[in-house]
Amino acid sequence: MTTIVTDNCKDCRFTDCVTVCPVACFHYDDEMLYIDPDVCIDCSACIPECPVQAIYEGDDIPEDKEIWVAINAEKAPNLPVCEEQMEPLPGAEERKTALGF
Amino acid sequence: MPTLGTEQNPLLVAIVGSGPSGFYAAEALLKSGLTVKVDMLERLPTPFGLVRSGVAPDHQKLKQAIKLYEKIAHSPDFNLIANVTVGVDISVAQLCASHHAVIFACGAESDRKLGIPGEDLKGSYTATEFVGWYNGHPDYRDCVFDLSHAVAVIIGQGNVAADVGRILAKTVDALKHTDIAQHALDALAESKIKEIHIIGRRGPTQAKFTPKELREFGELPDCHSIVLPEDMILNPESEKELAEKNNIASKKIYDLFCAFSKCDIDHAKSRKCFFNFLMSPKELIGHERLEKIILEKNILSGASFQQSASATGETVELETGLLFRSIGYRGVPLTGVPFADNQGLIPNDKGRVLDSNANIVLQMYAAGWIKRGPSGIIGTNRACSVETVECLLHDLTRLDDGNKKAGADAVLSILNDKKHRYINYDEWQKIDAKEIERGKIKGKPREKYTSIRDMLSVID
């Protein structure tokens, strides 16, 4: 099982997920969040929190999002931990609407 | 007096309960930037609440949340005072005198009742008892469950019901390398249960399982999960619920049930687990002990997302000797702390405790299940406790009454006067190490001590 953040987070970075993460496994760069698979306990608390449904777990990962498993694993450990909710990125609301949410 | 929360006048907070909500409250306080001392009181000699004694033994990865709690506990400003029952060994008034604030994070330890005839028959139990028993909780180690019947019934369709069903559905081989209590493993090895019924009062789109928990029922090595195809036909309101884009969890649940309903029965598997919908228990019948349950069929009414179940009058009978109810939890009232009996929790506004006139009770705060009721999963408590601590920090000026507080020293002095044996974090670590060592021989992550006496014998 792996839980991952995918491209819907890009340019949104709402970080609602971070408030319910029991183990602080989210990391961030200027664009989006990533989950450190070595820290995540696959509790799935974050999944319903994401306003743009960017987070998937294990069996639910669509085929076209599978590349994000490797991206999360590579990026997360080298980026700062996101421990608290941050302001969404500028334009996040517009992007959310464009994504159909 | 220097400002509260500075080195000259540290903010002293007592937290009652050492489960997730207690630890997330401690974390938020310790990260606040103020000078804070946290004293966490725990009834048992062992910390971590439901992560230790609620999370199922076959969900070891979830239990790794403890790693974060261990980090918090190693803070020099954190104290564990375990094996201390607030309200018995020390009063709430004493804690309010020794600390600037008290956060109640003591969970919901009692069950909601079905309120039907026969509920107290032998053979009818609470999920709490069963979960506590297989997890080696000292309060439930002496429970005896008769697993010699072919049929077991679970009332409720939330994650606890799923845990109970899954433990009954799994073979001992699938459990023996977990940290399940040895007494439970021995009893489950003799289980004759072949059929498990998990019963919900509403339909498949209203079931409260998380998709992850339900998915496991499709992957059990020796149990086939069954849903009747006719139960998958939805009323228009439920269809509307499923179509709602934000209701993705219900959609996943529904799809999983659909898959179960279409699956051919695998006769190679020795057990069956039925998910039954739109039924409520009406009566439990038996002479000396439970023999059968009468279920009443329900119909849904109301607008989408507000549908409630009402009885149709049509009944069905199911022979069973073992029933677990898992229809919700209630907090237990604590002397000196307001309690809302109808909701089974401490009345509060964002964590600030309220009295019966809805006035704020200064110094008292609530977090976790005792604050919001028994909902959500481990991580939900983080946001919940952060909200409570934000309120507490906002109240800082009102929490300083100008008198010097003695904090942990006062608590320990009260306990010492009573010759009460409390346990600190170092001592817990000794128990922890010994449990892990005991488990190693059996290929288990740990073999828990299930009696307080045995726990104390490790350190005395």
Q: Both B257 and B188 in a single domain? A: yes
Residue B433 has pLDDT above 80, yes or no: yes
Q: Both B296 and B372 in a single domain? A: no
Residue B1 has pLDDT above 80, yes or no: no
Percent of chain B with pLDDT over 70: 100
Residue B431 lies in a domain: no
Q: Both B291 and B344 in a single domain? A: no
Residue B429 lies in a domain: no
B162-184 pLDDT, tens digit each: 999 999 999 999 999 999 999 99
Q: Both B260 and B142 in a single domain? A: yes
Residue B428 lies in a domain: no
- Where are any strands of DSSP class E within B360-430? 360-366
Q: Both B161 and B217 in a single domain? A: yes
Q: Both B248 and B367 in a single domain? A: no
Residue B376 lies in a domain: yes
Q: Provide the pLDDT for residue A49.
A: 94
Q: What is the pLDDT along chain A (101 residues), one digit of tens a residue?
A: 799 999 999 999 999 999 999 999 999 999 999 999 999 999 999 999 999 999 999 888 999 999 999 999 999 999 999 999 999 999 999 999 999 99
Are B383 and A20 a contacting pair at CB < 8 A? yes
Q: Provide the pLDDT for residue B146.
A: 94
Query: Strand B11-16 relative to strand B36-42: parallel, antiparallel, unpaired?
Result: parallel
The Cα angle at residue B213 between residues B211 and B215, in degrees rounded to 5: 65
B19-29 pLDDT, tens digit each: 999 999 999 99
Q: Both B86 and B50 in a single domain? A: yes
Q: Both B316 and B396 in a single domain? A: no
Residue B136 lies in a domain: yes
ipTM value for the complex: 0.91
B56: domain CATH number is 3.40.50.720
Q: Both B24 and B46 in a single domain? A: yes
Task: Give chain B positions within 8 Å (CB) of A41.
Answer: 61-62, 64-65
- In single-letter form, the type of residue at position B259 comes to A
Residue B121 lies in a domain: yes
- Report the domain count for chain B: 2
Percent of chain B with pLDDT over 90: 94
* Consecutive H or E run containing A73: helix A67-75
Q: Both B224 and B351 in a single domain? A: no
Residue B5 lies in a domain: no
B359-394 pLDDT, tens digit each: 999 999 999 999 999 988 999 999 999 999 999 999
Residue A96 has which token pair? 């959310």
- Report the domain count for chain A: 1
Domain range enclosing A76: 3-98
To probe the interface with A, which of B62, B387, B388 has the most A CB atoms within 10 Å?
B62
Closest-CA distance of chain B to residue A91, Å:
21
What is residue B150's three-state secondary structure?
coil
B184: domain CATH number is 3.50.50.60
Domain range enclosing B380: 11-109+330-423
> Residues of A numbered 47-86 whose beta carbons fall under 8 angstroms of chain B's beta carbons: which are they?
47-48, 53, 57-60, 83
Q: Provide the pLDDT for residue B265.
A: 82
The average pLDDT across B226-233 equals 96
Three-state secondary structure of A50-70? CCCCCEEEHHHCCHHHCHHHH
Q: Global pTM?
A: 0.95
Q: Which of A1, A20, A23 sits opposite B380 (nearest CB)?
A: A20
A75: domain CATH number is 3.30.70.20
Percent of chain A with pLDDT over 90: 95
Q: Provide the pLDDT for residue A59.
A: 84
Residue B444 lies in a domain: no
Any idea what DSSP says for residue B313?
E
B256-290 pLDDT, tens digit each: 999 999 998 888 899 999 999 999 999 999 999 99
